[in-house]
């Protein structure tokens, strides 16, 4: 797309069916008049006419003139909702009147995005801003703002929130919540007047973090309805919000969606000349339900240069296999069995270092334990490599047990309040009486804002990566941050989550720079650090600590709203899930793990020969299908969620050229209906003829039928994309917690 004229009054950015219309006539920041469907190519005259046609009436008891919803709306604009920019200078300069220099520029970047950059300032208030709005090639809209203190004295920033308007028809909200082992539970409510804010003060993204906050038309689903979603790409404190006031969102709509970093009071204090830059806030619109919104995010992620491109290695992780019972012979046997099944990566989890024989002590002491690994980790790592697998290792860099050599040597490295005059500092063991955050899994947090902490961690991890030949790090983070206080140059302890989050990003960046090719997984007691900020510098997330396949069906379905399957770790666990006690058939566990970055987390040395054969079949199927699974569009059919037919899901991945797809029909529970709903296979090309083939390599699903569904028993059928989308096929009578795999190829 050619660059737009230098000083337009209006701008229309368009990409892949999405568009944003901005009034750039100034003098304030541009205001957003439309974010949603692409209205087509409009010349300058048509855009001006449209802007004029969108001017609203002035009601009684209201501002005397129409007011704009600018990119950083505030009281000077007439906006009574949450301000885009909040801050003050000792109580003054509360309401900057941001004026642009009249020259917003739009350029097309090398990666095909249209990037609008606007600078604005209020010389009197001593505040300047720089806003970047990027419409990516696949229609994802990303916004970030920087704020600079151009005045004298300290400007205390209270928050920067990026918002965009949504129309009145976006009357329903969907967001996600959860807890350990049950991440990403959906919840829906009407988008009424008021502010629906999902805030995290956990110092990490959070088990309950909503990956997307979505507003949509009544009853929107995966394949239908118009939806607008927002995601804040940040791993510290943050807020997502949907806000609706009676007076609407200027001429732009009825409400706003937005978000940003949540700052602790006084956490960001800008000295004269200093700046703050917000995280990217990502906005995705679709006229075709949640799948369309997801597709924009996944496509954008896959186009990033750092996106992992080599086949995602089938993994064995040692955690649920051996926990803290580390022994060379036992783990060698595990590695040998893993390789026999087809694993390509072996990850040694917690327990290999310091005095870490359980989770009471040793966290932070990143030296290989002589007690359990007298010859170091090389013998195991070499054996793993000899078996043709990569060697991965677990770390939890930001955390310490108070009972650790590190805390004994450096009690002041712990993030938290300073000890009172008559309170003991952190020493070792129990820290009763010290002014510390409440322990959580017996651990405290290291203050990454301290250069010595940063250097220590970088040095230790880097040395181990070199010594042992670590190809993959499982990077864990197992507690919320509370009372995160870090000393500033004046010695006063102030809010430290912002610096902690930047510190962890810098540490990850430095390690990746030192060790090109090193892959990193973001784990946080399962899925408590899943966001696009951490995924800028990591290669997958651990979606949950539960390997219970039934729980995983739901967790992966909703994690996939934002994160593409190749970045979502998904393991076959033991027959009885350790986290729920639920028993599941091997085929259901295998099919569930197939639709992610697959692996095993089970003592596979205990498997029967039949189980080994089944796992080998599954491993082969994963390797055959992963190219498709990890590059196609994720689709989810809208089967009934309530009523007599509820209890079954159908999801899949469709190749970009629509010539191949793989689906899973999942029976979650029994239903009141005797017959399941028909299999509707979404996302195919109506005009193509397809062969639908049942793939049982991971084990045949268990059905209770007198006479089976004929085509399913035969193992294959042929139908057009239009038939599969509209009419569907008869579904087998699967028992609960059973799943079938269907492989579909154009003839």
Which residues are known catalytic residues?
A: 476, 545
Q: Which is nearer to ligand GLA, 116 or 321 (CB)?
A: 321
Residues 225-254 within binding reach of ligand GLA (CB under 6 A)? none
Q: Which is nearer to ligand GLA, 291 or 476 (CB)?
A: 476
Residues 118-147 within binding reach of ligand GLA (CB under 6 A)? none
Q: Select the residue whose beta carbon is closest to ligand GLA and give its number.
A: 350
Which range in 258-266, 271-279, 522-530, 647-655 contacts ligand GLA by CB under 6 A?
522-530
- The string of DSSP codes covering 194-217 is EEEEEEE-SSS--TT--S-EEEES
Which strand ranges, in their side-by-side order, compose the sheet holding 85-88? 85-88, 155-160, 268-270
Q: Which is nearer to ligand GLA, 596 or 682 (CB)?
A: 596
Under the binding rule (CB under 6 A), the answer on residue 478 touching ligand GLA is yes
Under the binding rule (CB under 6 A), the answer on residue 398 touching ligand GLA is no
Under the binding rule (CB under 6 A), the answer on residue 476 touching ligand GLA is yes
Residue 736 in tokens:
């609960």
Residue 75 to residue 65: CA distance in whole angstroms: 14
Under the binding rule (CB under 6 A), the answer on residue 413 touching ligand GLA is no
Determine which residue in the list 155, 220, 283, 319 makes contact with ligand GLA, applying CB under 6 A: 319
Distance of CA 183 to the CA centre of its chain: 12
Residue 253 to residue 240: CA distance in whole angstroms: 18
Find the shortest distance in angstroms from Cβ 449 to ligand GLA. 24
Under the binding rule (CB under 6 A), the answer on residue 366 touching ligand GLA is no
Which range in 65-73, 518-526, 564-572, 698-706 contacts ligand GLA by CB under 6 A?
518-526
The answer to whether 285 touches 36, Cβ cutoff 8 Å, is yes
Residues 615-674 within binding reach of ligand GLA (CB under 6 A)? none
Determine which residue in the list 350, 398, 447, 521 makes contact with ligand GLA, applying CB under 6 A: 350
The answer to whether 29 touches 98, Cβ cutoff 8 Å, is yes
Phi/psi at 675 (5° precision): -100, 140
Under the binding rule (CB under 6 A), the answer on residue 523 touching ligand GLA is yes
Residue burial 275-313, b: 16+ Cβ < 10 Å; e: rest = ebebbbbbbbbbbbbbbbbbbbbbbbbbeeeeebeeebb
Find the shortest distance in angstroms from Cβ 593 to ligand GLA. 15
Residue 336 in tokens:
């040998």
Distance of CA 444 to the CA centre of its chain: 25
- The string of DSSP codes covering 496-556 is -HHHHHHHHHHHHHHHHHHSTT-EEEE-BTTBSS-STTGGGS-SEEE--S---HHHHHHHH
Q: Which is nearer to ligand GLA, 209 or 692 (CB)?
A: 209
Under the binding rule (CB under 6 A), the answer on residue 300 touching ligand GLA is no
Largest distance between two CA atoms of the chain: 83
Under the binding rule (CB under 6 A), the answer on residue 394 touching ligand GLA is yes
Residue closest to 477 by CA, chosen among 533, 395, 552, 545: 395
Site string for ligand GLA, 76-95 (x = CB under 6 A): --------------------
How many CB atoms lie under 10 A from the CB of residue 320? Answer: 19
Which range in 247-255, 329-337, 519-527, 611-619 contacts ligand GLA by CB under 6 A?
519-527
DSSP letter at 674? S
Under the binding rule (CB under 6 A), the answer on residue 403 touching ligand GLA is no
Determine which residue in the list 77, 291, 545, 551 makes contact with ligand GLA, applying CB under 6 A: 545
| Number of residues forming the site for ligand GLA (CB under 6 A) | 12
Find the shortest distance in angstroms from Cβ 207 to ligand GLA. 11
Under the binding rule (CB under 6 A), the answer on residue 349 touching ligand GLA is yes
What residues line the site for ligand GLA (CB under 6 A)?
Answer: 319, 349-350, 359, 394, 476, 478, 523, 525-526, 542, 545
């Amino acid at each position: 797309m050619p660059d737009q004229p230098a000083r337009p009054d209006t701008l229309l950015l368009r990409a892949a069916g999405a568009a944003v219309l901005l009034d750039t006539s100034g003098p304030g920041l541009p205001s957003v008049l439309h974010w949603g469907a692409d209205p087509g190519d409009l010349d300058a005259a048509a855009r001006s006419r449209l802007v004029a046609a969108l001017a609203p009436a002035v009601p009684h008891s209201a501002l005397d003139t129409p007011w704009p919803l600018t990119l950083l709306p505030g009281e000077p604009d007439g906006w009574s909702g949450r301000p885009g920019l909040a801050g003050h200078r000792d109580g003054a300069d509360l309401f900057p009147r941001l004026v642009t220099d009249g020259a917003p520029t739009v350029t097309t970047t090398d990666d095909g995005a249209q990037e609008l950059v606007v600078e604005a300032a209020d010389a009197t208030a001593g505040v300047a801003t720089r806003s970047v709005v990027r419409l990516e090639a696949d229609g994802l809209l990303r916004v970030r703002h920087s704020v600079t203190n151009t005045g004298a004295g300290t400007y205390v920033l209270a928050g920067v929130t990026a918002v965009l308007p949504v129309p009145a028809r976006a009357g329903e909200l969907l967001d996600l919540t959860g807890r350990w082992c049950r991440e990403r539970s959906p919840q829906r409510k009407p988008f009424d007047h008021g502010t629906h804010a999902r805030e995290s003060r956990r110092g990490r993204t959070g088990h309950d973090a909503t990956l997307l906050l979505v507003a949509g038309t009544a009853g929107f689903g995966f394949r239908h309805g118009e939806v607008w979603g927002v995601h804040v790409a940040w791993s510290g404190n943050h807020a997502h919000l949907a806000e609706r006031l009676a007076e609407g969102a200027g001429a732009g709509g009825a409400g706003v969606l937005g978000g940003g970093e949540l700052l602790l009071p006084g956490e960001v204090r800008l000295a004269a000349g200093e700046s703050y830059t917000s995280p990217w806030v990502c906005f995705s619109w679709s006229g075709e339900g949640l799948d369309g919104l997801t597709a924009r995010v996944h496509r954008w992620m896959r186009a990033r240069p750092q996106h992992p491109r080599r086949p995602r290695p089938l993994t064995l992780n040692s955690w649920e296999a051996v926990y803290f019972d580390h022994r060379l012979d036992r783990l060698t046997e595990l590695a040998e069995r893993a390789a026999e099944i087809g694993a390509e990566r072996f990850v040694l989890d917690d327990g290999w270092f310091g005095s870490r024989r359980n989770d009471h002590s040793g966290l932070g002491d990143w030296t290989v334990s002589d007690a359990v690994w007298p010859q170091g980790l090389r013998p195991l790592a070499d054996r793993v490599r000899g078996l043709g697998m990569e060697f991965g290792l677990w770390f939890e860099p930001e955390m310490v047990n108070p009972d650790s050599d590190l805390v004994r040597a450096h009690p002041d490295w712990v993030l938290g309040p300073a000890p009172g005059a008559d309170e003991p500092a952190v020493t070792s063991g129990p820290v009763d009486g010290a002014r510390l955050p409440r322990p959580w899994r017996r651990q405290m947090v290291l203050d990454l804002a301290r250069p010595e902490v940063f250097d220590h961690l970088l040095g230790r991890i880097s040395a181990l990566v070199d010594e042992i030949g670590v190809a993959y790090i499982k990077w864990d983070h197992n507690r919320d941050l509370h009372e995160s206080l870090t000393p500033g140059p004046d010695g006063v302890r102030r809010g430290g989550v912002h610096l902690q989050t930047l510190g962890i990003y810098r540490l990850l960046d430095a390690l990746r720079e030192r060790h090109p090719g090193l892959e990193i997984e973001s784990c946080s007691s399962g899925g408590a650090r899943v966001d696009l900020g951490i995924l800028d510098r990591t290669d997958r997330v651990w979606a949950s600590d539960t390997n219970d396949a039934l729980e995983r069906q739901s967790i992966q379905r909703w994690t996939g709203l934002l994160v593409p399957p190749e970045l979502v770790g998904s393991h076959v666990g033991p027959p009885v899930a350790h986290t729920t006690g639920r028993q599941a058939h091997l085929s259901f566990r295998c099919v569930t793990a197939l639709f992610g970055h697959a692996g095993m987390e089970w003592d596979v040395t205990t498997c029967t020969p039949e189980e080994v054969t089944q796992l080998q079949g599954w491993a082969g199927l994963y390797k055959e299908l992963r190219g498709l699974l990890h590059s196609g569009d994720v689709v989810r059919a809208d089967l009934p969620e309530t009523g007599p037919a509820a209890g079954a899901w159908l999801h899949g991945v469709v190749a970009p050229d629509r010539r191949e797809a793989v689906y899973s029909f999942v029976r979650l529970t029994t239903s009141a209906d005797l017959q399941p709903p028909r299999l509707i296979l979404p996302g195919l090309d109506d005009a193509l003829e397809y062969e639908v083939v049942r793939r049982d390599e991971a084990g045949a699903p268990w059905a209770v039928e007198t006479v089976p569904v004929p085509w399913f028993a035969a193992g294959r059928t042929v139908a057009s994309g239009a038939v599969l989308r509209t009419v569907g096929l008869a579904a087998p009578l699967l028992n609960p917690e059973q799943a079938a795999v269907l492989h579909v190829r154009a003839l």
